[in-house]
Amino acid sequence: MSISIADLRLNYSQKQLTETEVDPNPFQQFRLWFEEAVTAQLPEPNAMTLATASKTGMPSARIVLLKGVDDRGFVFYTNFESRKGQELKENPQAVLVFLWKQLERQVRIEGPVEVVSDADADAYFHSRPLASQLGAWASEQSRVIASREVLEQRFQTLQTQYENQEIPRPPHWGGFRVLPQQIEFWQGRPSRLHDRLCYRLQQDSWLIERLAP
């Protein structure tokens, strides 16, 4: 390799993050940063890394999309029989990480998870494009399949089956809500002296602490 990976670095200098400027409510602070990411027209600002672990502690991570946030937590949807779905069933704890590189920002969210209500899952499922609804039925997510053609044939069969009909939500498909106990906001700063403010849930209130970079 002709490129030196060790020499790849940037000096962050856009903004700062101070205790006097942040909102005391971490959900509101997240909304402020998320709106700035949307306004900046970043590609898929709701893309986030979801980290889970098996019951034996083996970690895994992948990118998923945030589909809802309120003062209860952060919601995403998936196949319950996928690897992440099975791991969350066995070990209902998760970490989410948002990286908004162009704004030199990162948000890390940690906490237990719960399954969203059937009503919420149904409402979101039927708001999706029809092709995405069919895809939820067609894909046995994370399982070995013989070929791409098998998947496409299954999709075509479902298209015919549900033509001019409402597509029901699969029983193996729904949502998870991450219930934060800790939310860290990271702002890049010069000389690697980054700003890190961590909100920790203590009973019914949030403690804000500064962490060393």
Domains of the chain are: 11-126+172-210 (2.30.110.10)
Supply the mean pLDDT for the chain.
Answer: 95
Contacts of 174 (CB under 8 A, 6+ apart): 77, 78, 80, 115, 116, 118, 121
In this prediction, residues 112-122 reach a mean pLDDT of 98
pTM of the model: 0.92
Please choose, from the candidates 91, 97, 57, the residue with its C-alpha nearest in 3D space to the C-alpha of residue 74.
Answer: 97
Question: Catalytic annotation on 192?
Answer: yes
- Is the pLDDT at 6 greater than 80, yes or no? no
Q: Encode pLDDT of 36-77 as tens digits.
A: 999 999 999 999 999 999 999 999 999 999 999 999 999 999
In this prediction, residues 145-167 reach a mean pLDDT of 93
Q: 105, 192, 196, 210: which is the annotated catalytic residue?
A: 192
Q: Encode pLDDT of 78-102 as tens digits.
A: 999 999 999 999 999 999 999 999 9
Q: Cα separations (Å) of 6 from 1, 2, 9?
A: 12, 12, 8
Where residue 14 falls among pLDDT bands split at 50, 70, 90?
confident
Cα separation of 73 and 48, whole Å? Answer: 14
- Is the pLDDT at 7 greater than 70, yes or no? no
Q: Encode pLDDT of 162-209 as tens digits.
A: 999 999 999 999 999 999 999 999 999 999 999 999 999 999 999 999
- What pLDDT score does 2 carry? 74
Please choose, from the candidates 66, 70, 64, 61, the residue with its C-alpha nearest in 3D space to the C-alpha of residue 31.
Answer: 70
Where residue 3 falls among pLDDT bands split at 50, 70, 90?
confident
Where residue 111 falls among pLDDT bands split at 50, 70, 90?
very high
In this prediction, residues 107-131 reach a mean pLDDT of 97
Phi, psi of 9 (to 5 degrees): -160, 155
Please choose, from the candidates 189, 180, 186, 179, the residue with its C-alpha nearest in 3D space to the C-alpha of residue 22.
Answer: 186
